Amino acid sequence: MRPRPLKERVLAVVALIRDRRIATYGAIGRYLRISARQVAFVLARLTVGEAEIIPWFRVVAAKGFVSTTKLGAVGRRQIARLRQEGVLVTGRNRVAEFATVAWGPGEWKPVTER
DNA sequence: CTGTTGACGCTCT
DNA sequence: TAGAGCGCCAACA
């Protein structure tokens, strides 16, 4: 067992999300056996350096809504990054075709098999 | 030690 | 469609 910091484990999983795909806070939380709030809390405290190497923008709320939009600049940055890699975001801040681009169960195939 | 605070999610009105 | 209420639990003052 490796009692690594919660932050470290969350970032490791977020880093697994492939290009043009997204994941929800809840899905990541269930994978790590923590609540969705904890995932959100970690991402909310990312440093500038971490934000550059971690695809935090591929993490959205349940149903595919971009929940950072209420934060103004951060929300616009997330939508911009998503669109840059071809993920369509509608005017209601929702990821189009959410069901098909969402990272689903069984797709977590990290290199760290064990 | 206690209380507050959330990039959330689900259920019930 | 919108809102309220609650669970969640690490981090922080």
The pLDDT assigned to A99 comes to 77
The pLDDT assigned to A112 comes to 41
The pLDDT assigned to A81 comes to 94
- CA A73/CA A77 separation, integer angstroms: 6
Protein contacts on strand B: list nucleotides below 7 Å from a Cβ.
Answer: 6-10
pLDDT averaged per 10 residues, chain A (length 114): 77 90 91 92 92 93 89 89 92 85 68 37
- CA A47/CA A63 separation, integer angstroms: 27
Nearest DNA or RNA nucleotide to A5 (CA to C1'): C10
Q: Name every residue whose Cβ is closer than 8 Å to that of residue A15 and which is 6 or more positions away in sequence.
A: A53, A54, A55
Query: From the Cβ of A69, is strand B under 7 Å away?
Result: no
Nearest DNA or RNA nucleotide to A36 (CA to C1'): B8
Query: From the Cβ of A32, is strand B under 7 Å away?
Result: no
Distance A57 CA to C6 C1' (A): 28
At A44, give phi and psi (nearest 5°): -70, -20
Question: Is A13 within 8 Å of A31 (Cβ atoms)?
Answer: yes
